[in-house]
Amino acid sequence: MKAFIALEDGTIFEGVSFGANGERLGEVVFNTSMSGYQEIMTDPSYKGQIVTMTYPLIGNYGVNKEDVESSAPKAEGFVIKEESKIASNWRSEKSLDQYLKENHIVGIKGVDTRSLTLHIRTKGAMKGIISTIDLSPKSLIKKAKDSPGLIGRDLVKEVTCKKFYNAKAVYSKPSILCHNTRFKVIAMDFGIKYNILRCLIDAGCDVAVVPADTTASEILAKNPDGIFLSNGPGDPAAVTYAIEEIKKLLGKKPVFGICLGHQLLGLALGGKTFKLKFGHRGANHPVKDLNTGKIEITSQNHGFCVDINSLNKDEIELTHINLNDNTLEGMAHKKLPIFSVQYHPEASPGPHDSKYLFNRFIQMMEKAG
C-alpha cells in the first residue's frame, strides 16, 4: 500500500505502508543509531515527533517485551529505508511490523532516508505528516503547515504518570532488587525512561516516581535524600509549572537532572533555552568532560538546549561540552548539591562511559546526609 511523508516546506517522499494504517502529524527528525529501534520508539521524549532511522535496514532482530523504555511507543510515526524480511534473535517475540500494528503506530518504508536526513540537516527539523489514507500531496502539505509545532508546546502533560508509584514495584528482577537500598529518591516524571529507574535502583536508591505537576512542598514532605529530574518531550520553557517548583527545591536536597530535566534545571537557575536546528539524536555523540578531559561516547535525544551564555558563571560551572557543535551538555552548581547532563548516561552506548554520573548522585546524597 502506498504511503507518503510530507513536510511543511512542500517536500514529499513516497514509500510503502507498514505497521498501522492512518495519518499522524509531528516534527520530523532523524536518529543515527544503528540499533535500538524499540527503545527509540518507546522513549517518551519522542512524543510529538515522527522518527526517521538513518541506518538502512531496520527490524532484523525483532521486538521483545523487555527492551522498552515506557509502557507503549510514544513516537507519532516511524520512517525507514528497508524493513528486514527476517527477524532473527533468540529474544525476539514478534516482528517490528506486528509491533507497530498492535500499538497503532503508522510506519512508512522504502523512503530515501539519506535524502530526507540531508534535507532536515540543511533546512532544519520541521513539521510533517505521515499518511497511508490521504495520498494527495497538496492536502498533506497543508495539513503539515497547519499543525502545531513544538515551540511553546507542553508535551510533558501527555506522557507523565497520573499518580505516585514506587519504581521497585515495576521491576521484579532479582539482579536489580537484591541491592541494598540506601537512599530515598523522588523522581519527577516528565517522561521518564525505564532504564533510568533501573540505574537508580541498581545504584542503591528506593525510587518514588511522582507526576510532573507535583509541588515542591509535596516532594519535601516525603523527606527524600535526593531529587531526580527526568527526561521528557517538547519545549522546556512551556513547562512553567515544573520550573517554578524546581526553583523551590534548589538548595533543599541534592538534585540530579537528565535531558529535559537538565533543561528545566537550567531555566530554574535563571538560564534560557533555545531550539536546535535539527537536534541531537543518536548513540555516538562525543561529549567532553571539562574536569577530566575525557571524551564520552553518548546517547542523545533532544531538540532544545540550554544557552551557555545565559547562565550565571559565578554560580554555575560548565562541566560537559558537545564536541560536534560546542553546545552545553552538563553543568553543576558551584555551592549547592546540584548537577545535570543533557545526554543519556543510562543508555550506555560507550558502553559505560557515563555510568559514573549515577555514582556521583549517590556521593552527593552521602555528603548531604
- Do 142 and 49 fall within a single domain? yes
- Do 165 and 308 fall within a single domain? yes
Asked if 34 and 59 count as a contact pair (C-beta separation under 8 A), the reply is no
- Do 162 and 132 fall within a single domain? no
- Do 29 and 172 fall within a single domain? no
Q: How confident is the model at residue 18 (pLDDT cuts 50, 70, 90)?
A: very high
- Do 129 and 171 fall within a single domain? no
User: How high is the mean pLDDT of the chain?
Assistant: 95
pLDDT in tens, 155-171: 999 999 999 999 986 66
| Residue 121 within any structural domain of the chain | yes
Active site residue 259: yes
Quickly list DSSP for 134-145. Answer: ---HHHHHHHHH
Cell 531496520 found at: 58
Chosen domain end from 123, 146, 169: 146
Residues near 122 by beta carbon (within 8 Å), at least 6 away in sequence:
none
| Residue 58 within any structural domain of the chain | yes
Active-site residue identified among 262, 285, 333, 344: 344
| Residue 161 within any structural domain of the chain | yes
Active-site residue identified among 27, 205, 245, 259: 259
> What pLDDT does 179 receive?
55
Active site residue 285: no
Question: What SS3 class is residue 277?
Answer: strand
Asked if 25 and 147 count as a contact pair (C-beta separation under 8 A), the reply is yes
The C-alpha cell that represents 131 in the structure block: 499518511
Could you give the CA distance from residue 184 to residue 182 in angstroms, rounded to a whole number? Answer: 7
Chosen domain end from 103, 119, 146: 146
| Residue 151 within any structural domain of the chain | no
The C-alpha cell that represents 325 in the structure block: 557543535
pLDDT in tens, 211-223: 999 999 999 999 9
Asked if 83 and 59 count as a contact pair (C-beta separation under 8 A), the reply is yes
| Residue 351 within any structural domain of the chain | yes
> What pLDDT does 262 receive?
98
> What pLDDT does 352 receive?
83
CATH number at residue 26: 3.50.30.20
Helical ranges in 131-183 per DSSP H = 137-146, 174-177
pLDDT in tens, 175-212: 545 457 889 999 999 999 999 999 999 899 999 999 99
Region of residue 245 (left: phi > 0; alpha: psi -120 to 50; beta: else) = alpha
Residues near 169 by beta carbon (within 8 Å), at least 6 away in sequence:
none
DSSP class of residue 131? Answer: E
- Do 141 and 229 fall within a single domain? no
Could you give the CA distance from residue 239 to residue 155 in angstroms, rounded to a whole number? Answer: 8
Q: Which of 277, 271, 329 is nearest to 300 (CA)?
A: 329
- Do 81 and 184 fall within a single domain? no
| Residue 288 within any structural domain of the chain | yes
CATH number at residue 282: 3.40.50.880
- Do 255 and 364 fall within a single domain? yes
Query: Residue 330's domain spans which residues?
Result: 156-368
Could you give the CA distance from residue 165 to residue 192 in angstroms, rounded to a whole number? Answer: 13
> What pLDDT does 335 receive?
97
Q: How confident is the model at residue 283 (pLDDT cuts 50, 70, 90)?
A: very high
Q: Which of 301, 213, 220, 261 is nearest to 27 (CA)?
A: 301
- Do 256 and 131 fall within a single domain? no
Sheet holding 165-166, edge to edge: 165-166, 205-211, 183-189, 226-229, 255-258, 338-341, 328-333, 316-322, 273-289, 295-306
Chosen domain end from 116, 146, 176: 146
Q: Which of 108, 118, 107, 105 is nearest to 11 (CA)?
A: 118
Q: How confident is the model at residue 173 (pLDDT cuts 50, 70, 90)?
A: low
Q: For residue 332, is pLDDT > 90?
A: yes
> What pLDDT does 353 receive?
84
Which helix or strand (DSSP H or E) is residue 123 part of? helix 113-123
Q: For residue 247, is pLDDT > 70?
A: yes
- Do 238 and 185 fall within a single domain? yes
pLDDT in tens, 87-146: 999 999 999 999 999 999 999 999 999 999 999 999 999 999 999 999 999 999 999 999
Residue-level length of the chain: 369
Active site residue 346: yes
* φ, ψ at 18 (rounded to 5°): -145, 160
Q: For residue 24, is pLDDT > 70?
A: yes
- Do 325 and 252 fall within a single domain? yes
Cell 552521602 found at: 366
Asked if 25 and 108 count as a contact pair (C-beta separation under 8 A), the reply is no
- Do 111 and 201 fall within a single domain? no
| Residue 47 within any structural domain of the chain | yes
Beta-carbon count within 10 A of 123 CB:
14
Q: What global pTM score does this model have?
A: 0.96
Could you give the CA distance from residue 257 to residue 330 in angstroms, rounded to a whole number? Answer: 9
pLDDT in tens, 43-85: 999 999 999 999 999 999 999 999 999 999 999 999 999 999 9
> How many distinct structural domains can be found in the chain?
2
